[in-house]
Structure 1
Amino acid sequence: MIRIRPLFCINPSRALVSASRSGTRGYAISVQAPRKWPGKTEDRVFDERKTYLYNQFTSLLKRSTHEPLLFLRHKNFKVSGMIKLRREIAATSLPKKAHFSLMDAPPAAEELPQLTVIRSSIFGVALRHYAPIDESTTAQIAKLAGGGGLAVLSLPSLDPPALQAVLRALERSIPKKKSEEDKKGKDKGGDDHVPGRKAKRQKPILNPELVLLGAFIEGRVFGVENVVSVAKLPTLDTLRAQIVGLLSSPAVQLAAVLGEASGGKLARTLEGFKKGLEGDSPKADEVSTP
């Protein structure tokens, strides 16, 4: 006889753990139009949770015109690890001061990088319905971020030094993987098995992983190498100053040449030519002698 365990007998803590694990689903992002069934004229109705996520992802895409979006692949992250990651990312935008006081106003939420865990199926729908992005760009983003646990990191503005600081924070947040020799040295007596005694059960060690997939900056899709190249650029103010210097350098050089050729320098130049010609001409007595 098969007995079914009632739902109210399930441990609440286990139910919460299973719900949290099943909530992070990693499917490929589909940007294709939904299938139309014959005889069905009404649109599909979503629940409140899916509608909220759809509006959140649509707002995220709207801000991409002035806020760069970094696509990240996360795996084996616990809640504590995700909180630490968010703190490391937010610390990159805080002002560097020697001393802080209670009078210092905290920065607004819009001025800090925001990490959003993405549900890929609903993100694909928001990506398909977002009109300013064409089909080719939509397909590139879907191919870039498809499959696995996905997260999107939005930056307040395009600032290459700030982007470089965020990339360094992402590298610091991931602990280094231990080699097999270190594990064996730490667990020297773990492999000793006593006959007739049940082997001790060991939990598998899950190392968190975080991989940069690419970015969506000002309507263009960038790969990992291009994102690193953008992070190495100087600030926008420095780039503007360099462009102004390049445009104004020919005019400055022309003004310098005209300044050197005018006024006293021109008179001294002609006087030098005159003396040179007088020195090269033969003397009068030498010409008169037979």
Structure 2
Amino acid sequence: MDPRIAGLVEAAKKGNPQALTNLAHAQALGVFTPRDLNAALNNLAAAASVGWPDAVRELQVLSRTTGNWKRLRAAVNPDALRRAPQRRVVLEKPRVRVFENFATPTECDWLIEKCRDRLRPAQVYQNSATELSQHEGRSNSEASFEFEVSDLVLSLIRDRTARASGIPVHHFEVGMLLHYKPRETFGRHTDFLQAGMHEEIEARGQRVATFLLYLSDDYDGGETEFSEVGFKFKARKGDALMFINVDQDGAPDPMSMHAGLPTTRGEKWVLSQWLRGKPVNSHHTPGIVGAPLPPEWYRNV
């Protein structure tokens, strides 16, 4: 057993509800331990059975109902929670797809609250795309969904994203919560990795696609604009947008240039997920093995 989780397992065996909840999150995400969603749900239910409020609320979000912990656990349907809505083709150059009602309003609110207190000024790659720093073209804030704030809700949304995109979860970077206050913006940019990051691209693949889940809609302005073709997209809360950053041969597509336009009223919240062409290893999930995306994905997405 990984020593980083051994103490958590021992505390969970003794019925510690915080340990049970944390262990459930690790099992759902496959962090420091093999992924086991059924065990994760059972441990979360065990924490809820003694009234642990975080576990109870998480089960309510997952079950989409209310009641005692037994009813909540019985109502969780992982297959349904993984299911993605049909995609709608919006553009072919660049390739842009929409998934309406991808997440429930409750799921959206849950994701915002998980990371709201971790926001920091957003950064961009500069100096041949090798260094992250603040830039005048980007004024919004962001927070990353590191293990400490990730859970079963996020894990199942990642599964849903994998089914929608056709890209396995182990090709995902760490998800980012993006926040735009009025007049904040992210100017014209592309998401594919630049030539200066060839070692990164060789090791973990190109950022072949960007998947945006819109967590709020009570704002004016704030469209996602594809500036090369003059197309603006405004989502409803819970809708998702996927655009492909590469062409059918896997080469960077300059037509994927886009911007997050400023809001004029209200706050905009988005879950941003970058998807890679190869499996992504991290210090939480070392030793991931898997094949690069097949050529068919690039042609048929």
TM range (shorter): under 0.3
TM-score of the two chains, using structure 1 as the length reference: 0.24
TM-score of the two chains, using structure 2 as the length reference: 0.24
Q: Which structure shows the bigger proportion of residues in helix conformation?
A: 1
Determine which structure has greater relative contact order: mean sequence separation of CA pairs < 8 Å that are 6+ residues apart, divided by chain length.
Answer: 1
Q: Which structure shows the bigger proportion of residues in strand conformation?
A: 2
